């Protein structure tokens, strides 16, 4: 069987293409799904979309003695099925990841199963057809699927993070295939995420996160902003979220929920401050699950009778029986995404070891 492309004179042997894909699979160059074949001419098309030198290092893991160059990133973007014009977003995502402190310390190898999560803002969303308005965490949009996948393939192929090998995730998350969404700026009553970093609406920016999970919040029962905000807060404060002394969250608010808050006169900052103020649980709730103290070495939560335990920070406050789950309002970030068809939002659980730092980083998308 052969197929002929619209502009091709030479037939393509499908069996040969399938055998090439099987060879890629045998060499371990995939995430389990078939990848797109790559040639030098294809690679040149990707490299032509960025002003960066092909040998420039975008990200490195010193403890593995491995580094990712622009050329490496381009190879994996091509393998992932990206179009060449997607590549500047891939580059920006790697630059964002490089600014975030956790990945350099082996977090991508963690038993927790963390994954890169990328948010895209600015006009580039329309140019590349990046989905921001329905089924945002699902399939169906090439840019979302392949740009996020390009990051995972590079972690496998450049850094050797194969499951059962250097990647030690106990269960992991589907986000380890791909996780990228756009912000639905057009249906948001608030300024978009990237303007909080000093960019303008017309700037193309990616924000990089390290995530553990995505929880959907079903809230179609109320028109009270306080009810909805407390639903978010209770989800953030589930005891299972607490690996460390504190937790972090990205609220992905649907347009319907964002409009509910806006009609009540709430700004993004109002929502952030409300969640922070109410993100408190009684100490007995933590004691009941063996998380009433922290390790004196790692600061991870554990039981008070553990030999490595020491009192948590809340123990030294004026209200020691009330345990605060967020270090500051900046531990909660907020964006709007999804369709305007139901009261469904999400809490994305962010992995952050550094309590006083914003649990994300960002980079501008640059074309030649």
Between 261 and 318, whose confidence is greater?
Answer: 261
Kindly state the percentage of the chain with pLDDT values over 70: 93
Most confident of 7-11, 62-66, 155-159: 155-159
Q: Please give the pLDDT value at position 355.
A: 41
The stretch 269-279 carries a mean pLDDT of 97
The stretch 74-98 carries a mean pLDDT of 97
pLDDT tens digits, residue range 130-157?
Answer: 999 999 999 999 999 999 999 999 999 9
Q: Please give the pLDDT value at position 113.
A: 87
For the cut 90, the answer to whether the pLDDT of residue 89 exceeds it is yes
Distance from the first to the final alpha carbon of the chain = 41
Q: Please give the pLDDT value at position 356.
A: 41
Phi and psi for 146 in degrees, rounded to 5? Answer: -85, -35
Cβ–Cβ < 8 Å for 35, 21: yes
For the cut 50, the answer to whether the pLDDT of residue 5 exceeds it is no
Mean pLDDT of the chain: 92
CA atoms within 13 A on the CB side of 162: 10
Among 108-112, 129-133, 290-294, which is the least confidently predicted range? 108-112
Residue 200, Cα to own-chain centre: how many angstroms?
22
Secondary structure class of 251 (helix, strand, coil): strand
For the cut 80, the answer to whether the pLDDT of residue 103 exceeds it is no
Those residues with Cβ within 8 angstroms of residue 175's Cβ, 6 or more apart along the chain or in another chain: 115, 116, 117, 211, 214
Q: Which two tokens stand for residue 263?
A: 């009609």
Instruction: Assign 185 a pLDDT band (cuts: 50, 70, 90).
Output: very high
What is the distance between the alpha carbons of residues 69 and 58, in angstroms, rounded to a whole number?
6
Q: Please give the pLDDT value at position 1.
A: 32
For the cut 60, the answer to whether the pLDDT of residue 85 exceeds it is yes
Q: Which two tokens stand for residue 116?
A: 């890169």
Residue whose C-alpha is closest to residue 118's, from 130, 135, 129: 130
Q: Please give the pLDDT value at position 109.
A: 85
pTM: 0.92
Bridge partner list, 322: 282
For the cut 80, the answer to whether the pLDDT of residue 323 exceeds it is yes
Secondary structure class of 118 (helix, strand, coil): strand
Cβ-based neighbour number of residue 75 at 10 Å: 22
Q: Please give the pLDDT value at position 62.
A: 87
Among 11-15, 27-31, 201-205, which is the least confidently predicted range? 11-15
Q: Please give the pLDDT value at position 3.
A: 36
pLDDT tens digits, residue range 347-368?
Answer: 999 886 444 445 568 889 988 7
| In the block, residue with structure tokens 């004691």 | 287
Q: Please give the pLDDT value at position 105.
A: 57
Our separate counts of H helices and E strands in the chain read: 10, 16
Q: Which two tokens stand for residue 60?
A: 């490195």
Residue whose C-alpha is closest to residue 67's, from 104, 92, 31: 104
Q: Please give the pLDDT value at position 7.
A: 52
The stretch 315-338 carries a mean pLDDT of 94
Q: Please give the pLDDT value at position 9.
A: 59
């Amino acid at each position: 069987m052969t197929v002929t492309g619209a502009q091709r004179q030479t037939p393509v042997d499908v069996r040969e293409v399938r055998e090439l894909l099987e060879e890629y699979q045998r060499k371990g160059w995939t995430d389990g799904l078939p990848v797109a074949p790559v040639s030098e001419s294809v690679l040149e098309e990707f490299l032509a979309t960025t002003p960066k030198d092909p040998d420039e290092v975008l990200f490195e893991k010193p403890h593995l003695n491995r580094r990712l160059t622009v050329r490496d990133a381009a190879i994996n973007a091509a393998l992932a099925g990206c179009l060449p014009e997607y590549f500047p977003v891939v580059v920006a995502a790697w630059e964002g990841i490089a600014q975030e402190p956790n990945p350099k310390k082996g977090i991508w190898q963690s038993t927790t199963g963390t994954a890169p999560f990328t948010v895209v803002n600015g006009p580039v969303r329309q140019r590349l057809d990046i989905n921001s308005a329905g089924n945002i965490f699902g399939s169906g949009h090439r840019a979302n699927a392949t740009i996020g996948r390009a990051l995972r393939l590079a972690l496998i192929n450049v850094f050797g993070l194969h499951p059962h090998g250097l990647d030690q995730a106990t269960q992991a998350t589907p986000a380890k295939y791909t996780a990228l969404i756009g912000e639905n700026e057009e249906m948001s009553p608030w300024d978009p995420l990237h303007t909080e970093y000093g960019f303008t609406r017309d700037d193309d920016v990616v924000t990089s996160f390290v995530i553990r999970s995505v929880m959907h919040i079903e809230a179609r029962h109320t028109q009270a902003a306080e009810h909805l905000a407390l639903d978010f807060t209770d989800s953030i404060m589930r005891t299972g979220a607490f690996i460390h002394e504190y937790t972090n969250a990205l609220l992905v608010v649907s347009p319907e929920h964002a409009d509910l808050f806006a009609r009540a006169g709430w700004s993004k900052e109002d929502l952030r401050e409300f969640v922070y103020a109410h993100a408190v649980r009684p100490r007995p709730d933590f004691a009941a699950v063996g998380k009433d103290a922290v390790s004196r070495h790692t600061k991870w939560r554990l039981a008070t009778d553990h030999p490595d335990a020491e009192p948590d920070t809340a123990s030294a406050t004026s209200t020691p029986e009330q345990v605060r789950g967020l270090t500051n309002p900046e531990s909660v970030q907020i964006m709007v995404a999804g369709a305007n068809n139901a009261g469904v939002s999400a809490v994305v659980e962010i992995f952050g070891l550094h309590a006083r730092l914003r649990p994300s980083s960002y980079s501008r998308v640059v074309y030649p």
